[in-house]
């Protein structure tokens, strides 16, 4: 997989501060699906899994988020989101049907009116299920219209910017 920022077939727009040792790319359709899902419920959190691919360019790791699998049986409240076994089963089935050649590159959930930072429970979830150095977390707040992307950096989780990817000349 070629890194979208050097592929002339794509136009990339920066969001936030981009790290020089890791890059995250969100296809516009995937980002739109994530944010629409986040806005679909403002009484409780919703979440899902970021689907895509992992690659390396000049020894710099990057991911590309190409799809989003909602977790309709995830358990959301106004203070958090959990993924019980049946929610993971839904995700596995969606991946087999829609994205058989892709992988889980991260996860998303919404904070309702609480900003776009990770809580201690979020950090524990990320460590337990998304421990690969290239896996990310995305938190969105549909009330405040904010979002943040977090990545592993030196064994800690820190916020990072990302690119939004469109086909060139579209």
pTM of the predicted structure, to 2 decimals? 0.93
10 domain residue, yes or no: no
Question: 115-141: per-residue pLDDT in tens?
Answer: 898 988 889 999 999 999 999 999 999
Number of domains in the chain: 1
Portion of the chain with pLDDT greater than 90, in percent: 72
6 domain residue, yes or no: no
Map the chain to HEC letters: CCCHHHCCCEEEEEECCCCCCCEEEEEHHHHHHHHHHHHCCCCCCCEEEEEEEEEEECCEEEEEEEEEEECCCCEECCCCEECCHHHHHHHHHHHHHHCCCCEEEEEEEECCCCCCCCCHHHHHHHHHHCCCCCCEEEEEECCCCEEEEEEEECCEEEEECEEEEEECCC
70 domain residue, yes or no: yes
92 domain residue, yes or no: yes
Average pLDDT, the chain: 92
Average pLDDT for 46-68: 95
116 domain residue, yes or no: yes
pLDDT at 1: 81
CATH label of the domain that carries residue 32: 3.40.140.10
111 domain residue, yes or no: yes
85 domain residue, yes or no: yes
Domain residues for the domain of 123 are: 15-167
Question: 66-91: per-residue pLDDT in tens?
Answer: 999 999 888 887 767 888 889 999 99
Average pLDDT for 36-41: 94
7 domain residue, yes or no: no
Does 170 have pLDDT greater than 60? no
């Amino acid at each position: 997989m070629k890194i979208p920022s050097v592929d002339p077939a794509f136009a990339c727009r920066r969001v936030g501060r981009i790290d020089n040792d890791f890059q995250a790319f969100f296809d516009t359709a995937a980002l739109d699906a994530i944010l629409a899902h986040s806005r679909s419920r403002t009484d409780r959190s919703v979440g899902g899994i970021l689907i895509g691919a992992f690659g390396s360019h000049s020894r710099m790791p990057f991911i590309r988020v190409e799809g989003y699998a909602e977790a309709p049986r995830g358990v959301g409240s106004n203070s958090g989101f959990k993924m019980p076994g049946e929610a993971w089963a839904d995700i596995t089935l969606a991946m087999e049907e829609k994205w058989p050649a892709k992988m889980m590159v991260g996860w998303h959930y919404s904070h309702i009116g609480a900003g776009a930072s990770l809580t201690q429970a979020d950090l524990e979830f990320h460590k337990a299920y998304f421990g690969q150095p290239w896996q990310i977390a995305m938190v969105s707040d549909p009330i405040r219209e904010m979002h943040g992307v977090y990545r592993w950096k030196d064994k800690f989780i820190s916020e990072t910017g990302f690119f939004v990817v469109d086909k060139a000349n579209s």
